[in-house]
Amino acid sequence: MASARLVVFIVSATAALAAEAPQRCPNEWVYFQNSCYAFMDVGVSWGTAETYCHILNPESKMLEVETKAENDFIAAQINARDGIREVWQGVNDLLREGHWVFNSNGQEAASINWHAGHPKTHIGNGEDCVMIDASGSWNDMLCEYQSVYAFLPSPVCELDAPDDSLIG
């Protein structure tokens, strides 16, 4: 009987420790594949979104989708949150029309899921920044976009999650 109680205690203690394991991300941030994400339910311009991310955490950057799995995760998060319909991504073609790069490092951004008819690469069209909608589709837009529909894309900030070996 005592050994059965010990086993139950060990299993219960192990479950409790797992539930209380150190978080990988700051409070209110969501973990996915070695990154932490902060979703803000406020619509702002692309430049303001970039500023918000640096204010929230100086080591964070605007969302930079690199894989289909990450794109699907972002779409699911948009759909699960009230007040968020679209989100800004840290991707732009400000220096050369049609050459999409990540804000954080200037490296070429893979085309994951452009919406039909996008990107619009007409010289001088001004749609140099990227948003993602609830279906996961990408759309190039004016960076300082002002919506007549009373909503703007929301900021999503991304931060590298701490290495597991550093936790605990």
Q: What is the DSSP string of 1-49?
A: -HHHHHHHHHHHHHHHHHHTSPPSS-TT-EEETTEEEEE------HHHH
What pTM, to 2 d.p., does this model score? 0.80
Helix (H, G, I), strand (E, B) or coil at 59: coil
Helix (H, G, I), strand (E, B) or coil at 56: helix
Q: Where are the domains of the chain?
A: 23-166
Q: Which two tokens stand for residue 153?
A: 């894309």
pLDDT of residue 124: 61
For residues 22 and 162, give the distance between their C-alpha atoms in angstroms, rounded to a whole number.
11
Q: Which two tokens stand for residue 105?
A: 């490092």
pLDDT of residue 118: 79
CATH architecture for residues 23-166: Roll (3.10)
Per-residue pLDDT of the chain in tens (168 residues, 90 and over written 9): 554 443 333 333 323 332 333 478 999 999 999 999 999 999 999 999 999 999 999 999 999 999 999 999 999 999 999 989 999 999 999 999 889 999 999 999 988 788 887 787 665 667 899 999 999 999 998 898 666 555 789 999 999 998 764 554
